Chains A and B, each alone.
Chain A
């Protein structure tokens, strides 16, 4: 047998696809797929927010509340009793909450209020200290109540609600599992202007139901508004989670006028020696 050297054929073992084309195809697949997952999670979260059972919500709420630092809930302290009474009286008789509500005081230097799934209302100590009348404190609580009734707190969790629900159903991550880490900071829940407005209207009608007028209830908002104009950023904690505009305050006044609600009346002061 005679050996005849011949040219070695090219491209037998290498697919002739340009690496960039191949890369673009791969990247495209991954991007499209993650986009679909993202949209899917969003759709599931919206469905969950409106259909989740109170029991499951309570379960999620328990896990979340256990991760919040500096919570103070002495069931027998006069402060706690006062807040709970206020909360109960604010719940309008016709719109009952679908879960029992609890109220917590969080030691914090920022002034804020939030509602968690499962009917947990959190109010910071600074907010309590700054409140000048019961009416304005009641409005803040009623506003969070409005979010609760409209299930905004579930909607605000967004896609992380799906993860939370799955974690709760499977029973993983009780106690020290950092669910909040997954969901991001809870105080970063944010609501749309529409949701804020609806919660405002709910709050105002609850206030008018309870006190007979809406006087002083918007003081807290007014104060934040002016402070926020003075010092940019420093006082924006409540502001960032509850987008507040002068428009919103004006709208509330207009709405009260239309409904014929009184915006002047006797202002109830806060009980002494409770918030010191």
Chain B
């Protein structure tokens, strides 16, 4: 009986999770192409930033969670060690989404480029080492200039 529940949870996790992931990637790729004309660069700290009349801080943040399938697979991975392949796409989506949100704000403000971009990641909702929601927050911030 428990096994049936597990299989159902895994099935829901896998199919719904991979469907949503696919949709999210399509969305990310579309928006990345739309915002490609504005450069996003990491230089700027202790360096002369390109000349601009105005500068402002922009912050994009997103919280993404893994599905049950991914959590189960990663708990199996915890036993043997190695690359947690299933979480790589979660973090990848998080980073790209956060950068996009930051960039879209900057573009609507009228930025010609975003410099000194930094990324930060933190876990949300999960106590250290305990079970629970395995969600991550990815924050991207940078200086938009125009």
A14 touches B36 (CB 8 A): no
Taking a contact as CB atoms closer than 8 A, the residue among A6, A7, A14 that contacts B92 in the complex is A14
Chain A residues in 8 Å Cβ range of B76: 23, 26-27, 29-30
**Do A22 and B36 contact each other (CB < 8 Å), given the known contacts A3-B113, A30-B76?**
no
Taking a contact as CB atoms closer than 8 A, the residue among A5, A7, A19, A29 that contacts B85 in the complex is A19
Chain B residues in 8 Å Cβ range of A23: 69, 73, 76, 86
Give A226 to B70 CA distance when docked, in angstroms. Answer: 57
**Do A5 and B88 contact each other (CB < 8 Å), given the known contacts A15-B83, A30-B79?**
no
Say yes or no: is A182 at the interface (Cβ < 8 Å to chain B): no
Taking a contact as CB atoms closer than 8 A, the residue among B14, B37, B83, B91 that contacts A5 in the complex is B37
B14 touches A20 (CB 8 A): yes
A19 touches B80 (CB 8 A): no
**Do A13 and B92 contact each other (CB < 8 Å), given the known contacts A3-B113, A30-B79?**
yes
Taking a contact as CB atoms closer than 8 A, the residue among B37, B77, B79, B88 that contacts A13 in the complex is B88
Interface size on B, residues (CB 8 A): 23
Scan residues 7-35 of chain A and give those whose CB is less than 8 A from a CB of chain B. 7-8, 13-15, 17, 19-20, 22-23, 26-27, 29-30
A19 touches B18 (CB 8 A): yes
Say yes or no: is B125 at the interface (Cβ < 8 Å to chain A): no
**Do A14 and B89 contact each other (CB < 8 Å), given the known contacts A3-B113, A5-B36, A19-B14?**
yes
A22 touches B79 (CB 8 A): no
B69 touches A14 (CB 8 A): no
Scan residues 12-28 of chain B and give those whose CB is less than 8 A from a CB of chain A. 14, 18
Chain A residues in 8 Å Cβ range of B80: 26, 29-30
Chain B residues in 8 Å Cβ range of A20: 14
Min CB distance A10 to B, Å, is 8
Min CB distance B111 to A, Å, is 13
A19 touches B113 (CB 8 A): no
Min CB distance A20 to B, Å, is 7
Say yes or no: is B52 at the interface (Cβ < 8 Å to chain A): no
16 A–B pairs (Cβ distance < 8 Å), ordered by A: A3-B39, A3-B113, A5-B39, A6-B36, A7-B36, A8-B36, A14-B88, A15-B85, A19-B70, A19-B85, A20-B14, A23-B69, A26-B73, A26-B77, A29-B76, A30-B79
Q: Which B residues have a C-beta under 8 Å from some C-beta of A?
A: 14, 18, 32-33, 36-37, 39, 69-70, 73, 76-77, 79-80, 83, 85-86, 88-89, 91-92, 95, 113
Q: Which A residues have a C-beta under 8 Å from some C-beta of B?
A: 3, 5-8, 13-15, 17, 19-20, 22-23, 26-27, 29-30
